[in-house]
């Protein structure tokens, strides 16, 4: 099964793919963030282009795991709803706490500049690897 991963950000949205047979995720690209409907259309088009079977969207939660939803979480929920209305593909979410921070640390440790490294797409790949690993343990 081929999955398209989405790491939402207020400025950029990272996209990545994974084949669940190999569990190796690959960053694709980042796209500019937009309103939920416009962004959902762009993501649905990317899913079709990649022949994805499912879309997995990173859902930011508070570090404590409790409390009311923050602005970003509400934006992601709106995006998930828009995706579900724009595509027939299943849309799932995955907890993505700290994914971007971990990826940024990896970039610095590798000595890469921000221009050499698409942290949003790499974060989407990390999100997919987490999703596939969690599913395989069930």
Predicted TM-score (pTM) of this structure: 0.88
Q: Residue 54: which of 5, 103, 9, 10 has the closest Cα?
A: 5
Q: Tell me how far apart the alpha carbons of residues 16 and 27 are, in angstroms, rounded to a whole number.
A: 4
Q: Which domains does the chain have, with CATH numbers?
A: 2-137 (3.30.420.140)
> What tokens appear for 13 in the block?
């949205």
Q: How far apart are CA 45 and CA 127, in angstroms?
A: 20
Look at residue 59 and give its three-state secondary structure: strand
Per-residue model confidence (pLDDT) at position 56: 98
* Number of CB atoms found within 10 A of residue 60's CB: 22
The secondary structure of residue 51, as a DSSP letter, is T
Residue 121 pLDDT greater than 70, yes or no:
yes
- pLDDT over threshold 70, residue 64: no
Reply yes or no on whether the pLDDT at 67 is more than 60: no
At residue 68, the pLDDT reads 54
Average pLDDT of the residues in 105-126 = 84
pLDDT score for 39: 97
What's the mean pLDDT when you consider all of the chain? 88
| 97, pLDDT greater than 90 | no
Tell me the pLDDT band of 62, cut-offs 50, 70 and 90: low
Within 10 A of 69 (CB to CB), how many other CB atoms are there?
Answer: 14
Q: Is the pLDDT of residue 40 over 60?
A: yes
For residue 102, the model assigns a pLDDT of 77
Nearby residues of 109 by Cβ (< 8 Å), 6 or more positions away: none
Q: CB neighbours (10 Å) of residue 106?
A: 14
């Amino acid at each position: 099964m081929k999955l398209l991963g989405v790491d939402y950000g207020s400025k950029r949205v990272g996209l990545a793919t994974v084949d669940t047979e190999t569990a190796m995720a690959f960053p694709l690209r980042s796209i500019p963030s937009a309103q939920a409907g416009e962004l959902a259309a762009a993501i649905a088009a990317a899913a079709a282009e990649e022949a994805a079977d499912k879309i997995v969207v990173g859902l930011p939660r508070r570090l404590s795991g409790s409390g009311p939803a923050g602005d970003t979480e509400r934006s992601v929920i709106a995006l998930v709803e828009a995706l579900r209305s724009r595509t027939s593909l299943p849309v799932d979410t995955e907890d993505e706490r700290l994914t971007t921070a971990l990826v940024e640390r990896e970039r610095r440790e590798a000595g890469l500049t921000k221009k050499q490294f698409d942290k949003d797409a790499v974060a989407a790949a990390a999100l997919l690897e987490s999703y596939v690993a969690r599913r395989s343990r069930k």
